[in-house]
Every structure is written in structure tokens, then in C-alpha cells.
Chain A
Amino acid sequence: MTTLNTESQNPMGERVSAAIRASAVFILLIVMVAGFALAQPAYINVTNLMSILQAVSVVAILGAGVTVTLAVGGFDLSIGAVAASSVMAASYAMIVWGLGVYETVPLVLLFGALVGLVNAFLIVRLRVPDLLATLAMMFLLTGLQLIPTAGRSISAGLILPDGSTAKGAYDPAFLLIGRSSFFGIVPAPVVIMTLVAFILFVLTERTRLGRLLFATGGNELATRLAGASVPRLKTLAYVLSGTLASLGGIIVAARVGRGDVSSGASLLMDSVAAALIGFAVLGLRRPNVFGTIVGAVFVGLLLNGLTMLNAPYYTQDFVKGAVLVGALALTYGLGRSQAR
């Protein structure tokens, strides 16, 4: 009770353990990259590193959305399904409605924002617990995406439920979102991911709004008593998360060029994992956008390396889990021994 300042009590021990916590993930990252590069030199070349970033871009963008909902003390389980339905929505808009890139992208983003709004309505207004509300939304979307095409995958020449054939096709400009690269090196999704990461980092860590988002998650009552509108902040978080998920879906659609029915479960799991690994980055022990991006890249580097070394896919899931468990044990375990 009378501790004035823990830092002054044990400056060395405190600082060392904080430094270890802060840099642990980066040390692991370097060791891992070095290990893979030794085993397989092709791992370290720029094209492969860009491929890795491209492969994680969608997960990182979704993870940033999860991070924002974690910041307000919520959780969005529907992001995977939002991304998956956005792939279908984008395909449907172009192939069935014959829209171009400039109509499709805003439309799909609007769809994501709308889902976020419905999530927020359930959670803020009807006071449905966030896990239940977003889980229900996930099921709803997984089913919803089947309805317009009666369960068919969407590709050029799709036969609609009424027997007619869809006349549209993927807008080549839309495909550029997923398939083009800047200067022939940096894939467009990586650029989008970097932009999203930067904007969300600034938003959450350097703005008034971000402070209030975190304050909501930290102490909702205190935030309300300080005059902030907690319902509005929560709504914003879910709308952001939904919109980011649909952006992720747009990138997937632009890479694969067709719409296949999917629950997006793996996207959800991977982005949640990224956000949780993010807790360990810099030893912050809280959701943070930078950590989430690092977490996503970490998993991407690991999986790419394992694939290159011919590890079968089931070991990959195991390794993913081991990294997550390890990262969390590291942050919280070290944190506790230091707090004592």
C-alpha cells in the first residue's frame, strides 16, 4: 500500500525482466528466421518474404479489427464469416450484377460496416453478451452467403437458381487489388496491410478516440463517468472490425478471383491467434495493433518455413498452437514473477 514507486525499489531486476518481456518475441523471430534461412536459403530472399507478407496480409487486417474489439473489452467472432461472405458478396456484385471495381469495393465495405452495426446493436442495445452475439452473427452469415446462389460457388458463367446464366465477370481492375505488386516487388495486399496497420496504430495509440476505446475496455464505468459515450465507442469498434473484415474479404476475392462458400473459421482462428500473440509483443500484456501485425507475420514466417521444410500441414496447426501458448505463458508468466 505504501509502495511509492516499484521502479525505484528494484531498478535492475525490473528493467531486465521488462526488457526481456519487451524483446522476447523479436528475439524468437530472429532465431526462427535464421534457423529457416540456414535450412533453406530460398527462405530469406525478398520475393519469399513478400509472399509471406502477402499470405498474412488478410489475417493481419482482420487481426487489427479483433484488436479494436478487444480494446473496448469485447470480442468479434464474426470477422471470419464477414470476410468469407465478403468474398461471396464481391463475386456476386461483379458476376451477377456486372458491377465494376468502383461500385463493388464500397458496396462490400458497406456490407462489413453494416454487419458491425448489427453486432453493435445486439451487444450495446439488446445487451447480448458479445461472444454470443458475434457467434450468432457468424452462423447467420455462413448461411446467408448460400442464399443468393442457392449454395453454388460464384464464378464466371454461374447458373443462377432461376436457371439463367450470370453474364458478368471479375473486373480486371478489381483483381489488381489482390494480384498486382508495386515496383514488381511489393504486393498490393501488403501495401494495404501496411496502410491499415499504420492508420489503426495511430488511431488506437495516438488519438483521443483510441484512448477512449481502450478506456472503455479497461473500465467502462470510469469511462462513462468521465463523460464519454460508451455505446458509441463500442459501436465504432464493431463497425471498424466489420469493415476491416470485409476489406480482408475483398483482398481474398481479388486474389482468388471467384467466390467459394466458406465459414471463414480458419481466418477467424488465425486472426485471433495473431491478436493474442500481440499481447506478448513489447511485453504489453494487452491488445495492441502493432503486436497483432507482428503476431500475424510471426505465424506467417513460421508456417512458410515449415512448408518449405516439407512439414506436413497437421504439424503446422500444432506449431501455431504451441507458439500461441508459449507467447502467452511468456508474457503472463514473466509478468507475474516480476510483480511479486
Chain B
Amino acid sequence: MKHLTRTILGGLVAASLMAAPALSAGIDGAPAPFDKGDIDIAVVSFLGGGDWLQAFEAGVKRQADALHVNLTVSQARNDNDTQRSLIEQAINLGVDGIIINNGRPEVLKDVAQKALDAGIKVVAYDVNLDNPQIPQIEQSDKDMARLVLEQAVKDKGDGFVGGAVYVAGFAPLDRRYGVWKDFVAKHNLTEKATWGVVNDTVPASVADQTKAVLTANPDISVIFTPWDEFAKGVKLAIDELGVASKVKIYGVDISTADIQLMNEPDSAWQATAATNAAVVGEVSVRAVSLAIAGQFPGPSVLLQPTLVTRLDLAKGEIKTIEDLQEKFPAFRKSDAATAEWIPSATN
């Protein structure tokens, strides 16, 4: 009894220390309420982990620090119901703004509306909440898919045999896959198979599936992976089957881990197109901050992607996202959702 009490009290103390709000000072010359500071923003992510989320949250933190904003960061770990609960909790907490990072529109529409009703500003990344009051932050999925697939056609020519990893029901994946379908029609490609799964262990599961697909369809020479976790799985499968010289990956998204995979000798991963996850995080914080300050950033905030090929990486000796940001200025910064008074995030 005594021990348990002590444990729990200890936990409480530790937790409250962690959360001790950095009662932040305001920013001179910023519009209210940023001139006074003490602004709370909650970030609710659907995902539970992964390189992308890490970079995203790092970006969020950088921009939030620059804006002297207090953050509450939580992850729903791929659980719809939990994400709803987390958003409700943020509403109860009385935050000034909520950033919804990924998720399912059906699940979130009504709680997002509830937040708006409570006077809380909401921005959503990569989930279409179909609400004009909620700025929709998007990386241009179509552009990303178009960039890599153009590269694929350039490398392999028209009419190659390919496959795609795809799970329906995720808006960005749907859009990227749509571009692939267009390419299949326009460039006379053969789509031998589509497969994919979204669960707690995406790369491992996708690798298992991919091995089966490649064994059944040895003529596939290009695999389009509209999400980098898919690409990891496919790469694993290709390496384990030893067919890296035959089958090439054209992916979307990038992270340091992805760069390392592409840099491996004889890597099958030829090209990717991405926006910087950290920049997405920064833009999200800027967008919600603009909304809080009464400067609505518009219903749609678009981020432009960059094409990155294996060759680019090798030439620039790029090994990490940081290297990439130095080599590709477009990758480092986005001018989306900015204002005079918003200080730029410092690395």
C-alpha cells in the first residue's frame, strides 16, 4: 500500500515536472494573443511512430518554440477511437489550437466541429475534414506521385510491367495511387498486382506480401510505393529475394532512414519525392497560429514536393535529411503559411 502510493505519487510528481508549462513570454509586435504569450496548442497524431512522425514532431516543436507556444503532443497509435478521445481531451484542456495530423474523416469530423464550436482553431494535415473553417494542410500528393513516376518512365521507358502497394481509404494514398492509374493508362504500363496492408508492423507485413507477389509475378520491374513505410517493406523483400537488379522501387516520402536505404549499394529504391516532414510540422504550427491570431490562412495550404533520385544522393554525398536540406533549398523551407511576425524555426 505504502509502496504503491509512493510509486504513483512519484509518477505524478515526475509527470507534473515534465509538464511544467514554460510560461512563455509573448512576442513583440505580434498580433493578439501572441503578444502576450501563454498559448496552448495540442497536436494529435493518428500514427504512433515512425521516422516521418519523429521529423514532423521535431518540426512542430521547433516552430512552437520560436513562437513561444506550449505544446501537448499525443499519438493515437492507429486507433480511431483513441484519436477521438485525445481530441476531446484537448478540447477539455481548453487549448487555443489543435493540429490534427492524419486520421479518418468519418471519425474526426464531428469532434473537429466540436472543437470549433468551443472556439478552438483547428488545422488538419493529410486528412480532409471537409470543413471550410479548417485549413487543410496538404503536400501535393499528385505532384509527388507525378514526379517519381515521370522519373520511372524516363528510366524504364513506356510500357513497363509494374505493381503498386496500396491500401484504399487513406486520402493521400488514394490520390497518389490515382496518379499511378493515370500513368498506367497514359504510358501503356501493365499493372500486374496491387497489395498492401496498414497495421502496427507495416514494413514487415508488406515485405511478406511483396515476396509472394514477386515470386508469382517475376516480370514486375517497377514497384510504386506511395508511402515510405511501404517502400521499406518492398526493399526488404527485394533484398531478401536478391532481385535488386531487376526490380526497382519508385517511392514517395523521405526520411534519414529512407536516404540510408536508397544509398545502400545496388539499392532498388531509385527515386522518391517528398516534402520535408519537419517542414510540414512547422507549417502546421504556423497555420494554426495564424488562425489563432485571426489571420485565417485559407482553406487549403499546399506544400510543393521535391524529386530526389539515388543519383542526386550519391552526387551530393547526402546521408541524412540535414544533408538533404543543405543540398536542396526547396526541401528546407516552405513559404506556406507565413507572416511577418512569425519567427522562423531554428534548427
Contact = CB atoms under 8 A, between A and B. Distances in A.
A/B: CB atoms within 8 Å of each other: yes
Interface of A: 20, 24, 28, 31-32, 35-36, 38-40, 42, 45, 47-48, 51, 54-55, 58, 151-153, 155-156, 158-159, 170, 179, 252, 255-258, 260-262, 266, 304-311, 313, 315, 319, 322-323, 326-327, 329-330, 334
B92 A313 contact: no
A20 B1 contact: yes
A311 B15 contact: yes
A258 B16 contact: no
**Interface majority SS (helix, strand, loop, mixed), chain B:** helix
A153 B74 CA distance: 24
Contacts of B92: 42, 45, 47-48, 51
Contact of B81 (A24, A32, A256, A261): A256
Given A31-B8, A256-B81, 11 more contacts: A31-B5, A31-B9, A42-B94, A48-B93, A51-B88, A55-B88, A155-B104, A260-B80, A307-B72, A310-B18, A330-B4
B2 to A, nearest CB: 10
Contacts of A309: 15-16, 18-19
Interface string B3-25: 11101110110011011000000
A155 B127 CA distance: 15
A256 B88 CA distance: 13
Contacts of B55: none
A308 B79 contact: no
B178 to A, nearest CB: 13
A326 B4 CA distance: 6
Nearest to A56: B85
B77 A313 contact: yes
Nearest to B109: A257
Given A35-B12, A313-B74, A256 B168 contact: no
B240 interface: no
Interface in B21-68: 48
Interface in B75-128: 75, 77, 79-81, 84-86, 88-89, 91-94, 104, 106-107, 110
Nearest to B114: A179
Contact of A28 (B4, B18, B73, B80): B4
Contacts of B71: 310
Contact of A252 (B73, B81, B91, B110): B81
Given A255-B84, A313-B48, A322 B1 contact: no
Contact of A323 (B8, B9, B93, B197): B8
A159 B107 contact: no
Contacts of A323: 8
Nearest to B92: A48
Nearest to A35: B12
B329 interface: no
A31 B300 CA distance: 46
Contact of A256 (B15, B94, B104): B104
Interface of B: 1, 3-5, 7-9, 11-12, 15-16, 18-19, 48, 71-75, 77, 79-81, 84-86, 88-89, 91-94, 104, 106-107, 110, 167-169, 197, 199
A38 B107 CA distance: 32
A319 B1 contact: no
A151 B11 contact: no
Contacts of A252: 80-81
Given A258-B104, A307-B74, A329-B4, A153 B169 contact: yes
B183 to A, nearest CB: 20
Contacts of A311: 15, 18-19
Contacts of B89: 48, 51, 304, 307-308
Contacts of A28: 4-5, 8
Contacts of A153: 167-169
A152 B5 contact: no
A36 B4 contact: no
B106 A258 contact: yes
Given A31-B8, A326-B8, A159 B168 contact: yes
A313 B45 CA distance: 12
Contact of B11 (A48, A179, A308, A319): A319
A39 B16 contact: yes
Which of A47, A258, A309 has the most C-beta atoms of chain B within 10 angstroms of its own C-beta? A309
Given A47-B92, A257-B107, A32 B12 contact: yes
B197 A308 contact: no
Nearest to A169: B106
Contacts of A158: 168
Contacts of B86: 307
Contact of B168 (A24, A42, A152, A327): A152
Contacts of A32: 8, 12
29 contacts: A31-B8, A35-B12, A35-B16, A36-B12, A39-B15, A47-B91, A152-B169, A153-B169, A170-B106, A255-B80, A255-B84, A255-B107, A256-B81, A257-B106, A258-B169, A260-B80, A261-B199, A266-B79, A304-B89, A309-B18, A310-B19, A310-B71, A313-B74, A315-B15, A319-B11, A322-B7, A326-B3, A330-B4, A334-B1
A330 B8 CA distance: 13
Contacts of B80: 252, 255-256, 258, 260
A319 B9 CA distance: 12
B316 to A, nearest CB: 35
